[in-house]
Every structure is written in structure tokens, then in C-alpha cells.
Structure 1
Amino acid sequence: MLTPLPLPRRYLVGFDPRELPHHFADVVVIGGGIAGLRAALGFPKSLRVLVVTKDQIRESNSQYAQGGIAGVMDPEDRLDNHIADTLAAGKGLCDPDIVDLVVREAPERIHELIGWGTHFDTVDGRVALGREGGHSHARIVHALGDETGREIMRAIIHQVRSRSNVRIWQNCATVDLLTHEDRCRGVLVWDKRRGFAMVWARAVILTTGGAGQLYRETTNPPIATADGHAMAYRAGVELRDMEFMQFHPTVLYMAGSARHLLTEALRGEGAFLRDCNGFRFMPERHPLAELAPRDSVSLAIAAQMAATRHPNVYLDMTHLDPEFIRNRFPGIDRLCRSFDLDITRDPIPVCPGAHYMIGGVTVDSHGRSSMPGLWAAGEVSSSGLHGANRLASNSLLEGLVFGARAAEDVTERLDREGAWQLEVPPISASTPHEHRTPIDLDDLRKSLRALMWRRMGITRDASGLADAALQVDRWCRYILPHVFDDPGGWAIQNMLTVARLMIAAADERTESRGVHSRADFPETDPAWQRHVTMQAQVVRIGGS
């Protein structure tokens, strides 16, 4: 187990419980994506649930999901096929029992969404099924063509808002987990209107999403700053597989604009990848060509970009039926038209971008973390489903399954524990007040993202990782001890913390496996068919 990053203190900010307002809930859910909201829907009306979201509740990675949810819905498909595809993509690091569990629950979770009012696309009265890279069959349910996440989140948010036992705090930053006697007791939160507050709970479910903002090129929205990974690490919770960041192969590459995901379903429907010379290179790179798993496609694109010295490759749909393409992908059609691109006639410039954080809080089949009182689900967790490379459209599925399982487990535990005696543990934290040179957070954030893209990107090597570790350590030495009083400062501290953990894990794994590609160790080593775990030595402050 690695302990690569010493912490200057346990909590990001100082606090005295005598000076702060206190709130109480049976369960606090941190994060408003699909995993968090599915968890919130899993509790009986007798339990008071508080959902805390960093931004508006509709702002999450789940909202922007284009492809869909993988599940065996076709009579010609089999559960064993989905299981085999997931295991193959995971390159030896999936937990077979978890894969079996999740795949078998998939149809039930999809029908549950339909029952809650999700309008999936249909053909002849049956749910339409698409195919994506790494899948042996068409099994991806989708909505509004390529806006599945938006439709699912619309339906699930409506359900959450109809539950009288669920409260939602939007635009509220969770600063840290509150722990006492090696148990999670609640969270420290902040919002612009109310300032700091302490929320005490019988159970906390961490569903804060990913870490894509650590990279210059990413599909993730601005909120994806690895907050949950960092606060769990500060609390002494075990993290696992932090070297595995999945890069989506096809991100719209238009200089000067934000990056936009172009779903894998485009290639599932027959789109080709060509380089700047018009050469279709994927058939030479992988037997499945454009339908290879994401790690293989991203590596192939990166290699072709390097060989042609061109900043991108191109998606080609000009050979496909124009009417079908426009109807199947209306969101992408609108997006590309805004850049004066016609997806039925023009090659679309794309490059890989950081997409999905596979590593995270180690959890069991019920979402339990290594710390009593803390559960985790979705992208912030490491459940064993994805292994070293996530199979396309398994992420929304994982959020649904583990959100539901965590809620079920928490409910059973609270029932066994009986009535809750309201109490405030003797937790406090002091921080030094130092006068330091003002820090340009925007400049630091850009520098970190550029460094991670260069040194911790699609390929890594020992020299680059050493350089990245040296630079991030320098930043950590003067940024982590600093006491900030706003979310921008806390976000950069979280990003630096998690960047350092990722670099350490990548340096430790001296092989190439899945999304972790080492130029200096290009082969997969059977001796490395194991996880890299890490856990901080918790700094004790006051009564914490």
C-alpha cells in the first residue's frame, strides 16, 4: 500500500463547532449525479435524506452522457456475453463477482427508469439498442438519440423532488468529511449565503463524480475536480487504482472552444477514423477496428497523431445514410453545425480527452468503504466493475446499481441500530493564519492541467512521471498548507492532492495494462494483475 503524499493537516479549514450552525439528517448524499440521486430514491420515507450538490442539481457528468446504458435487453443477447465483454475490456483487473452482479441487475434498473418516466428511444414499440466499442452485441439503450444522460436525469430529478423525505442543497460545497473515532459522522459544507455549517448524519454516501478537470483535454464539466477522492484521502479512507484514467477517443477538437464529447455510438453505427491524409488506420491497429475498446482506440489515435505530426484525426460519416445519422445523433448534429461542420459531409476533427476516472474509493458489493459510516458509488468509487479499462456505457449502469445497493445497505444498518441519539462529537480543527503572497489560482490550474496532459496522459514513462512528481510536490508544498476561504482554493488543493496520488500510482505500476500505458514498460506483466492501494496516515487535530 502506497502512502505517497504527507498531509499538512487533517481538514482544509479551521472550524469551531461552538461558532457554526448544525444540521442533522439520517443520511447525507454528497453529489447529484445518477449514483447520488438513485441512492436518495432508495430510502424509505421514515429516513431524512439530504442531497448536497456543488452546482445546480442538473450539472453533473451524468447529465452529459451521450451513449446510454448497457444492459441485456435483446433475446439474442445473453448476460454471459455482457459479462465476458466487461471482463475482456478490464484486462484482468475486474472483480468477476461484481461484474456478474452488476450485469444481472442491469435490466431491472433500466425498467425501473422506464417506470419513473424515462423515455428511451424505441423501434417498432421496443426499446432501441445501439452498439459501442468492446460490446459483442447491440445492448445500449439510449434516449433523444445522443442525449441519454439529459433524459435520464430529467426523470430521476423529478422523482427525487417528489419525495417528501429528501432535501436538496444546491450550490453548496462539501469541504471535508467529519470523522471521529475512525467513523464518518457527517460533512462540513459551505455556501455563499450561509457560510460554513456542520451536517451530522448516521450515514454518508459519497457520489461526487470524477477528476477530468485535472487534464487540459477533457470531456468533463468544470465541477469535476476530484473533490470526493481528495476528501476521502484526507479522512484516511482507502483509495485504489488511481493510475487508471480513461481517455475517450473522440472529443471534438476545435481550437479556441471547449471540448465536447462525440459518443462512441457514432463508431457503433459505422463511422470511420481517418488521419489527416484520409487514411483509415484502425483496421491495422486492432482486429475490431473502430469498435475496439476505448484504451486501444485512444492509443491508436495518439500514435497516428504523432506519426502524422497533426493535432487530431477525423471521424468520417460521409458514407452513412444522412437522414439516419441526423435523426440518430441530433445533439451532435446541432453541435457541429455551430462550428459550420456538416456531419454527413465533412470530416469531424477529434482527439482523445480525459473522460472517466476508474480509480477511487475502494468499496465492496454494497458500496461500503474502508471507513465505517461512509459509502461510495459511481465514478468516485472503485467497485471492481471496470478493472483497468471501463467498457462503454457501463458507467451509468454502475451508478444505478451501486446507488441502489448502498441505499439498501444503509437502510438495513440503520434499522438494526435503532433510534438515533442526536449528538455532536467533539470535533474541531485549528489552522495557522499566515500572510502569504497572493496565488493566481487560474494560472496554477492551467499549469497543473497542462502538466498532467503531458506527463500523465495516454502514455507515461519513468522520466515524465518523475518530472511530474517533482513539479506537483513543489506546488503542494506551498498550496496545501495555505488556508483558503472559497471553493476555488479548495478545488485546487483537491486537484493537487489527487494528481499526486495518480502520479505515484502510475509510477508504481511498471507495466502497461488497459488505460495505463507505460512507454518504458510496454508489455502487460502477469505479476501486476493486482491493485495499487493507498491510504493517508490521518493527522490528528484537536478532537478529530
Structure 2
Amino acid sequence: MPARSEYVSDVLIIGSGAAGLSLALRLASSGCKVVVLSKELLQEGATFYAQGGIAAVFDETDSIASHVNDTLIAGAGLCDPQSVEFIASNARHCVQWLIDQGVVFDTETSTMGKERYHLTREGGHSHRRILHSADTTGKAVQNTLISKTTTHPNICVKERCNAVDLITSSKIGLPGTKRVVGAYVWNRELERVETFRTKALVLATGGAAKVYQYTTNPDISSGDGIAMAWRAGCRVANLEFNQFHPTCLFHPSARNFLLTEALRGEGAYLKRPDGSRFMFDFDPRGELAPRDVVARAIDHEMKRLGTDCMYLDISHKPADFVIQHFPMIYEKLLSLDINLTTDKIPILPAAHYTCGGVMVDQHGRTDLDGLYAIGEVSYTGLHGANRMASNSLLECLVYGWSAAQDILTLLPREKLADKLPKWDESRVDNSDERVIIQHNWHELRLFMWNYVGIERSTKRLERALRRINILQQEVNEYYANFRLSNNLLELRNLVQVAELIVRCAMERKESRGLHYTLDYPNQVSSPQPTILAP
């Protein structure tokens, strides 16, 4: 498709991970014309870097009821049981669809001599139900979906494009019910804003972990979809629940390298600097406790001992076993002069997953007609107060399927809006003070880490909100006066999402799951989701 200032499609999908690409393939296979926007190159999303796997019931000793129960327990009383049942019940056929696309999961030979999938176990799971491709499952999934979407005649993929804002019917004066009709998009290669007209628009932009100083996520995880949906009038929920992955490598040359939970699932221990284990001091499940418990335990021990990190140790397992199951991690650590089979690995918690997001129903529909949100950007009720390991890629696949079904019934009734107004930048200049963006960027991520991190208090949250209000004024003024850039767009969205995170945290007068506050250490008897409306 040649470069031009306006694009037209049946469906515009903003985001190119497992959720966005699986949805694109399902729609395109039914004849829809689909445009997929990728903020970076297609391999740079969170899906590509996912190590662990996808949770689904494939073992005959396992059951959907058990998967549901484990998820509800991990979610600390805040999951939506109907949503959990819906996703767990549709897991197998959605994973099978992925297998049919060409994703190869690891297999093993049973004692009866039959080949079966090798299922691993991770924190919170009572059974082995994690399908994986060694320790690079996300890479296998993403590469397969990329190969399918980039060669499909009904799909146009545009890389290095940042969505700026959604265009709604009310914004351009159209009569009738307010609905989404398109989006303004910053083309980074051409350094211009392009207009996209569409019948349905899907946000599959991922989470907002980049709002924190330390994160396992790639740089693109800046909460863009959450911020755009909020500005367009959609509700958000449960944004106080930011999951911190317990085991991010602590190393100056690999600050966001994740050490998969499957390491603990296969027997790795968490240890203090003196070599003693500590998880059983905090939870009878030890290293296999849910992530919120493990992350708080590590944070507690680091602060108590005044150390920079704790350690992950799987050296007691046979070297061949470790290398076979974790080849990518083994090679990566060797490049940093660390031997996974013999050494203790320095780790610390880092922001990993946004459990809340844009409120949607079981088809990914938001509050705004024609607008859908799927994957980490959304709040479905699956994760509650804490996400159970390997349920995230599953949620992407199930909602890629359910949203496709709904969109296919919607499209025949929808008409494209007439030509949309072009982006107006006649009153802005080129900035000669981009250092302001960098300064504000670093300030935001640092105080979010210190004040709205693993452990919080009312005073810290109030302090963070005051700083956010000041930053919002500066960013909005900058946005109004200067031409766009990638960093400006991300900062604008991060500051907005930071405000929503803090407001949600201030609403919750208890400690539950991923939200722990010193002022309200106990749990209330009837917890409810935290819902914010524009």
C-alpha cells in the first residue's frame, strides 16, 4: 500500500502482539480488510519476549474447574468468575488454533510410549498446564503470527506508527450515538500525522509497565491504549494492580531481562545472599506462591538486609536438564559471565504486567460504540488483584477469537464516516527544548517506583499525585505548542496512566493482591473492582 495521508479499512487494529495479530488473521480469513499498526518493528512487542508459555487444560488429570479455581485463588477475591470460566473454557480450542497456524510446542514421550505436550507448572497452578516452546514461547508465537499476517492479502501492516488519538463521531460533529470512526496516527518514518478511517477499531496496545523505573517490558509499553480510550470517554478499572515480576535479572548490562517463572516451576530456589532460602518464611507454597507474594517477600528481604538483590538458584538440578529446558536464558547469562547451571543469579522484582485497563465485555467491547480493547490493555475480570502466570497470552488468544466473532456480525451494519478532518499542526513549532521531555520522563518513572511501587502508603500516593498534576500541566502545554515526537506521545500517555493508577490506588482502602498499603494492611470483607469514569 503506497504512502498516503489517509487510509481506509474495515477494521483498524492498533497493536501487533498476540492479541492484535491473532484477531487480524481471524478477520482477514473471513474477508475483512484489516490495517494493523505496529508502534515499533513487529518483533518488538511484549509477546515476542514472553518466556513461560500459555496456560490451558491439555492433561487428562487436569480440569477446567481446576484452572478456574487456581485463577480465582491467585486473583485474591477480585476476579470475575464468569470471565474466568469463559476464558478457561475456551482455552483449548484457541490454543489449538494457534497450533494449527504452525506454532510448535515442546513435546515428550509418556511412560506408555505416546508423544504428548510437555507441560510445565508455574506459580499458582495446581497442575502442569503450561504449553511452551523451550523458554522462548512468545518468540515462537509472534514469529508464526508475523509470517501469516505479513503475507495475507487482506492485511496491511504499518510499522513504526504511533496512534495519537481516537476520532469519535461527536468530535467531528456527526449525528447519532457517539462512536469511534478512526484515528490520528504519527508516522515516525515520514514524521507526519496520517488519518485512518475505519468501521471498527481495536486497541491491542499492551500494558503500561514503562511508567516504572524498573520493568521487564520492552520500551513500547507506555499505556497508549488506556490513555486514548480514557480521553475518548471509556471507563477503566483496577489500575492499582500492577504486577511486579519477582525475578528480573539484576545486572547493569541487562536491566530488563526476565527470568521466567518456569525456573521456579522446575525447582529453582530463592535465596538470600548467605545462601539460605526464605520463601517458606512467607508462604507454605514456597517458591511457587503467586507472584504478588513472592515479589513482596523479595522486596521485604532486600529492605530488611539492606541489599540490592536476592538470588535465584537452580544449580542443584542436573546441568543437562537446565540447559535443555532453558537454552535461551542459559546462553544469555553466559554472555554476561553467569552460569545458570552453577551460579546463583542476582534478581530483583520489576514492573511486569498491568492487571487493570479499559473495561470490556466478553467480546472486547468498550463503552464506546465500534471500539474494542483486547489483551493487556483491557480489563476483563480475569486477573483480579493478581495475574496468575501464563494466563496473559491465553487471554490474548481467547479475546482475539471472541472479538472477531462480534466484529464480523457488526461490520455489515456499519458504514464508513465521510472523509475525516486532517490533522492541524499549523499553530505548532519545532521544539528546541527536548531535554524537558527527557527530564519529565525520568522524574515520572522514578517517583512512581518509589511512591506507587510494591509497597505504598496514603502519604506516598498523595505526593505522587501532586507531582503528576504538575507534570500534566507541563506536558499539555508542550503538546499544544510543539510538533509531535515518539517521546512526547509516550510521555503524554504515561502521565495520564500514572494519574489513573494513583487514583485507583487511593480508592482502595485495603491491601489485596498486588496492592499493598501501609495504611490499610487488612482486607475488606466484600471487595469490588475499582472503576473510574471520565
Q: TM-score range by the shorter chain?
A: over 0.9
1:439 shift after superposition: 4.3
- Equivalent position SS for 1:247: strand
Shift of 1:338: 1.2
- AA in 1 matched with 2:488: G
Which of 116, 122, 129 aligns to 1:132? It is: 122
**C-alpha RMSD over aligned residues:** 1.7
CA displacement at 1:139 relative to structure 2: 0.4
Shift of 1:237: 1.1
2:100 maps to which residue?
115
Partner Cα distance (2:80, 2:164) in 1? 32
Q: Would you say 1:167 and 2:148 are equivalent positions?
A: no
Match of 1:404 among 401, 404, 408: 401
Structure 2: how far apart are the matches of 1:437 and 1:499?
26
Higher relative contact order, chain-length normalized (CA < 8 Å, sep 6+)? 1
Equivalent-residue separation in structure 2 for 1:437 and 1:313 (angstroms): 43
Secondary structure of the equivalent of 1:47?
coil
Letter in 1 for 2:259: L
Aligned to 2:462: 466
TM-score, normalised relative to structure 2? 0.93
Alignment correspondent of 2:145: 156
Please state how far the C-alpha of 1:298 moved relative to its aligned partner.
Answer: 0.4
Give the residue type in structure 1 aligned to 2:168. Answer: T
Give me the whole-angstrom Cα distance separating, in 1, the residues matched to 2:478 and 2:391. 39
Matched residue, 1:221? 218
Q: CA deviation at 1:385?
A: 0.6
Please state whether the residue corresponding to 1:28 is helix, strand or coil.
Answer: strand
Q: Which residue of 2 aligns with 1:34?
A: 18
Q: Which runs of 4+ in 1 moved over 4 A?
A: 425-437
Partner of 1:282: 279
The question of whether the paired residues in 2 share the 8 Å contact of 1:242 and 1:360 is answered with yes
| 2:418 aligned with 1:423 | yes
Residues 363 and 375 in structure 1, CA contact (< 8 A), matched pair in contact too: yes
- In structure 2, the CA distance between the partners of 1:408 and 1:477, relative to structure 1 (3 Å rule), is same
Q: Distance in 2 between matches of 1:78 and 1:51?
A: 36
Q: 1:362, 1:383 within 8 Å by CA — same for their partners in 2?
A: yes
Task: Check 1:304–1:41 CA distance in 2 against 1; reply closer, same or farther (3 A cut).
Answer: same
Report the Cα distance in structure 2 between the residues aligned to 1:421 and 1:396, rounded to whole angstroms. Answer: 32
TM alignment of 1:247-262, pairs within 5 A: 247-262=244-259
Q: Distance in 1 between matches of 2:246 and 2:42?
A: 28
**CA separation in 2, counterparts of 1:23 and 1:274?**
54
In structure 1, the partner of 2:85 is 100
Distance 1:298 1:401 in 2: 28
Matched pairs, number: 513
- Please give the secondary structure, in 2, of the residue aligned with 1:480: helix
Q: Aligned AA for 2:26? A: G
- Deviation (angstroms), 1:349: 0.3
Q: Tell me if structure 1 keeps the 8 A contact 2:184–2:423.
A: no
Structure 1 unaligned spans of 5+: 1-19, 537-544
Contact 2:193 2:423 in 1 (8 A): no
Q: Comparing 242-251 with 36-45, which one deviates more in the overlay?
A: 36-45
The answer on whether the counterparts of 2:244 and 2:349 sit within 8 Å (CA) in structure 1 is yes
Contact 1:180 1:427 survives alignment (8 Å): no
Matched with 2:175 is none
Q: Is 1:293 matched with 2:274?
A: no
Instruction: Identify the range of structure 1 (402-411 vs 433-442) with the bigger mean alpha-carbon deviation.
Output: 433-442
1:264 aligns with 2:261: yes
What pairs with 1:533-544 in structure 2 (closer than 5 Å)? 533-536=531-534
Q: Distance in 2 between matches of 1:40 and 1:443?
A: 38
Aligned to 1:542: none
Corresponding residue for residue 301 of structure 2 = 304
Aligned with 2:444 (options 429, 441, 448): 448
User: Secondary structure at the residue paired with 1:468?
Assistant: helix
Partner of 2:487: 488
**1:479-502 deviation digits (Å, cap 9, x = unpaired):** 123224211111111111111111
Could you say what secondary structure the match of 2:42 adopts? coil
Name the structure 1 match of 2:112: none
